[in-house]
Chains A and B, each alone.
Chain A
Amino acid sequence: MDVDRSGSRASRPRAAGDTDPPGNAPLSSGGAFKPSATKAGDFHLDMDEVYDDTASYLDANEEQDRLYVAAPLQMMWWRFTKHKMAVVGGVIVILLYLIAIFAEFLSPYNPETYEVALTYAPPQRIHFFHEGKFQGRPFVYGLTQARNPETLRMEFQIDETVRYPIYFWPEGDSYRIWGLFESNRHLFGINEAVVDEAREEGAPSFATLFVLGADKLGRDMLTRIIYGSRISLSIGLIGVILSFLFGVVLGGISGYYGGAVDVIIQRLIEFIRSVPSIPLWMALSASLPRDWSSLRIYFGITIILSLIGWTFLARAVRGRFLAMREEEFILAARFAGAGEMRIILRHMVPSFFSHLIASATLAVPAMILSETSLSFLGLGLRPPTISWGVLLQESQNLRSVALAPWLLLPGVVIIVTILALNFLGDGLRDAADPYR
């Protein structure tokens, strides 16, 4: 520490402002860390300032020490957390995947529960106050239908005479979470008992909780968006894992062996990239047999997406391999008698794995977008499978969107997801190289 301090002082040219009393000189000329403290003409010496300076100087030194002994992962984490948007993105991504995992429990209804009378029912506002009085528990007003005397169309109206309180853990539609455990408890919803009671009393309004409105068949949009996230998010993840495998293997071979293999693989990648991707995807997905089950279509689409997606990862892997081959530590390992496999797996892969994770994260949003576009065109997943693209299919009809703008809400969710994943990926990419 002492050596370091004197070194930094000696190397610094003496400026006019450095004619301070000798006792203070080392403190204020710790300018390597806080150069602004010793500007020319800064003669007055405030005791507070000196004290502050000392503290920050010591801090800086401790910081330095901490940095020297930190493990690479620790440094990546520090660097990542500095990137505020990336942290926000990461939190959103984790939340989204949690929602996808616990879809059955988090959604207030079952995605196929329909009520034709409630076609395009508007989103209901959740209230806390009724006629200025706090109700102690959030509630929604009932919905009634009435004919608009001018347009002669049936329109939904809010019936303020009926209130349906929203409970936590109410009993509702029964489901099997992950196809394993049967339950009928949801995170929130309106109580079945209250609904039945209202029905028996012959209340003219519908007892529903449509936070984001309803679709053509009167199904809850929120529920369907939550269920859709399961397909859309997982297709992104599985697709990237598949293209990751293709990319790492082929890119690795290409970069490690070089020569003719490298040339062939590189030409192949260039060729695949020169074909416009969406027409090719369209043609490939149109070739999936119509009578396939939704599970097979799902995997078919995933494989089609990763058939093109792998080229980007392969390029990244190859580039890393080429750069890494020349590094001294690889040479050292080779001199020490390490085998090829050991060099690859023990020395090369760990040193660029973080980069790969970052590029893979950045590839997920592209996958999700492609699936959404294909399903939107009717070439990808098809109902009854629910994905965000399938949900957006309904909004292709301009008239129904004009009538029920909430049909575009899956699009908002897509934008948020893509942005969050992009920010997370950017942050990871910056953090992947902490020594820069």
Chain B
Amino acid sequence: MSSFIFRRFLLMIPTLFMISLISFIVIELPPGDYITSYIANRMAQGDSPRQDEIDALTKQYGLDQPVQIRYLKWLANVVQGKFGFSFEWQLPVSDLIWDRLGFTVIVALSALLFSWFVGLVVGILSAVYQYSVWDYLFTALSFIGLGTPNFLLALILMWMAFAYFGVNISGLFSREFVDAPWSIAKFVDLLKHLWAPAIIVGTAGSAGLVRTMRANLLDELSKPYVETGRAKGLNELRLVLKYPTRVALNPFVSTMGWALPQLVSGSIIVSVVLSLPTTGPLLLRSLLTQDMYLAASFLLMLSTLTIIGTLISDILLALLDPRIRMGG
């Protein structure tokens, strides 16, 4: 088992290296750099920066050096945990990203928990009561859930909460807690705000899980051992939960690997709509202003998150299924 994990860790290194390269290239692609967009902004405000000021800025940010040098320097810094300097915020990138990555993980994980919970409960209900009114209702709902882009769901929920209840569901904290240091009250406040993004980001995933859970459990329920259990007088609830549900649970773990990237991706657009303090809004802004080190670091860290997520799900699967761990 440990050799399996070790092998997977080794495989991560070249992948991460490739990702850092791609992130950097993608950020370098647009014509011009931060200086040009900075000049354009200044021009739009009606004054033009002097040439020596531009030169000084270019030199200060190291933008006069060729691309490959800048990449290698950045990479060397990243390995040491430094991500470069954000031009726009005039702050080291590492000061900006950790909080936001943390909140991204929190939102993604709570969305995952939500979709597991809904997938489990609703999936079991619609399999056990197959072809009942509830089954049809849940089936219809899960199809709609699959077909609704999550930013649209965010818009609709926001509008409904605002128009009918006068509540604003955007943000992760109430105003008085945004800059407050961590405390129990702040944590409670976070929980009060977390449900909306968790539901919005998790809906598509839970719709998919409901479908899989229902199909798998239906397969299991028609097997003879279930009939045997019933004939022996097992209570129906216990019977369903104890054996078939366990077997049907497998996809929950195996789909986690690709569910996490989707949740991280999904949370980005949703957090732009809901203006959450996660990576989304800042990444969008840094891409638009060509704040390249910030954008590249975000891309790198988000990809790392997904790779770690995939790794965890692979390890869990290997723990569950000896065939995977032996075959490697």
Interface positions of A from 404 to 427, Cβ below 8 Å from B: 405, 408, 411, 414-415, 418-419, 422
**A408 and B159 contact, Cβ closer than 8 Å, known pairs A274-B310, A278-B269, A373-B151:** yes
Q: How far is A86 from B211 in the complex, measured between Cα atoms in Å?
A: 17
The total of chain A residues at the interface (CB under 8 A) is 38
A123 to chain B, nearest CB (A): 16
Q: Which B-chain residue is minimally distant from A421 (CB atoms)?
A: B147
> B15 near A: Cβ within 8 Å?
yes
Given B23, B158, B268, B273, which contacts A278 in the complex, CB threshold below 8 Å? B268
Distance between A256 CB and nearest chain B CB, rounded to angstroms: 25
Q: A276-B261, A278-B265, A408-B155 are in contact. Are A422 and B147 (CB under 8 A)?
A: yes
Cβ-neighbour of B283 out of A279, A372, A414, A419 (below 8 A): A279
A379 to B18, CA, bound (A): 25
Is A284 at the interface (CB under 8 A from chain B)? yes
Instruction: Determine the distance from Cα of A283 to Cα of B261 in the docked complex, in whole angstroms.
Output: 16
| A365-383 contacts to B (CB < 8 Å) | 365, 369, 372-373, 376-379
Interface of A is mostly: helix
Q: Indicate if A289 sits at the interface (CB-CB under 8 A).
A: yes
B159 touching A283, Cβ below 8 Å: no
**Which of A276, A405, A418 lies in contact with B302, CB distance below 8 A?**
A276
Q: Are B31 and A377 in contact (CB under 8 A)?
A: no
Which residues does chain A contribute within 8 Å of B287, judged by CB atoms? 282-283, 286, 379
Fill in one digit per residue for B215-252: 1 if any A CB lies within 8 Å of its CB, else 0: 00000000000000000000000000000000000000
Taking CB atoms, residues of chain A closer than 8 Å to B30 are 286-289
- In angstroms, Cα B20 to Cα A257, docked, is 31
Least CB distance from B306 to A in Å reads 5
Q: Which residues of B contact A365 (CB under 8 A)?
A: 147
The listed residue (B147, B170, B298) touching A418 by CB distance below 8 A is B147
Assess whether A283 is in contact with B27, with CB atoms less than 8 Å apart. Answer: yes
Alpha-carbon distance A373/B307, docked complex (angstroms): 24
**Which residues of the partner chain B approach A280 to less than 8 Å between Cβ atoms?**
26, 299
* Interface positions of B from 1 to 19, Cβ below 8 Å from A: 15, 18-19
Residues of A within 8 A of B43 (CB): none
Determine whether B315 belongs to the interface, using a CB cutoff of 8 Å to chain A.
no
Stretch from A188-196, A323-331, A390-398 forming part of the interface with B: A390-398
B91 touches A (CB below 8 Å): no
Residues of A near B143 (CB, < 8 A) are 419, 422
Question: CB within 8 A of B269: which of A373, A401, A415, A419?
Answer: A373
- Is A47 on the interface with B (CB-CB < 8 A)? no
Contact call B152/A278, Cβ cutoff below 8 A: no
Q: Enumerate chain B residues within 8 angstroms of A278, measured Cβ to Cβ.
A: 265-266, 268-269
B156 within 8 A of A: yes
In the bound complex, CA of A280 to CA of B268 (Å)? 11
Whether the Cβ atoms of B19 and A279 lie closer than 8 Å is no
Q: How far is the CB of B204 from chain A (nearest CB, A)?
A: 10
Q: Evaluate whether A279 and B268 lie within 8 angstroms (CB atoms) in the complex, with A401-B155, A415-B144, A415-B147 already known.
A: yes
- Beyond A271-B15, A278-B266, whether A287 also contacts B26 by CB under 8 A is yes
Task: Confirm or deny: B29 has a beta carbon within 8 angstroms of a beta carbon on chain A.
Answer: yes
Interface centre among A278, A408, A411, by most B CB within 10 Å? A278
Instruction: Count contacts between A and B, CB distance < 8 Å.
Output: 122
**Given A277-B261, A282-B287; A271-B152 close (CB under 8 Å):** no
Report chain A residues within 8 Å CB of B310.
274
Check if B163 is an interface residue, CB within 8 A of chain A: yes
Let me know if B57 is at the binding interface, CB within 8 A. no
- Per-position contact with B for A283-314: 1 when CB-CB < 8 Å, else 0? 11011110000000000000000000000000
Q: Which residues of B contact A377 (CB under 8 A)?
A: 269, 272, 284
With contacts A283-B299, A398-B162 known, is A373 near B155, CB below 8 A?
no
- B264 part of interface (Cβ distance < 8 Å): yes
Q: A274-B306, A274-B307, A280-B299 are in contact. Are A287 and B152 (CB under 8 A)?
A: no
A373 to B147, CA, bound (A): 13
| Smallest Cβ-Cβ distance to A399: which chain B residue | B162
A422 CA to B142 CA, complexed, in Å: 13
Does A402 belong to the interface (CB within 8 Å)? yes
Chain B contacts for A422, CB-based, 8 A: 143, 146-147
B31, chain A: closest CB distance, angstroms: 6
- In the complex, whether B209 has a CB less than 8 A from a CB of chain A is no
Binary CB contact string for chain A from 254 to 290 against chain B (1 if under 8 A, 0 otherwise):
0000000000000000010111111110111011110
* Closest A-B pairs by Cβ, 10 of them: A287-B29, A278-B265, A286-B287, A418-B147, A287-B30, A419-B147, A411-B152, A283-B26, A276-B265, A401-B159
22 pairs from A and B in contact (CB 8 Å cutoff): A274-B19, A276-B264, A277-B265, A279-B268, A279-B298, A279-B303, A280-B299, A283-B287, A283-B299, A286-B287, A365-B147, A377-B272, A377-B284, A401-B155, A401-B158, A401-B162, A402-B159, A405-B163, A408-B155, A415-B144, A415-B147, A415-B152
Give the A-binding residues of B (Cβ under 8 A).
15, 18-19, 22-23, 26-27, 29-31, 143-144, 146-149, 151-152, 155-156, 158-159, 162-163, 168, 170, 258, 261, 264-266, 268-269, 272-273, 283-284, 287-288, 295, 298-299, 302-303, 305-307, 310
Which residues on A are within 8 Å of B, measured CB to CB? Answer: 271, 273-280, 282-284, 286-289, 365, 369, 372-373, 376-379, 392, 395-396, 398, 401-402, 405, 408, 411, 414-415, 418-419, 422
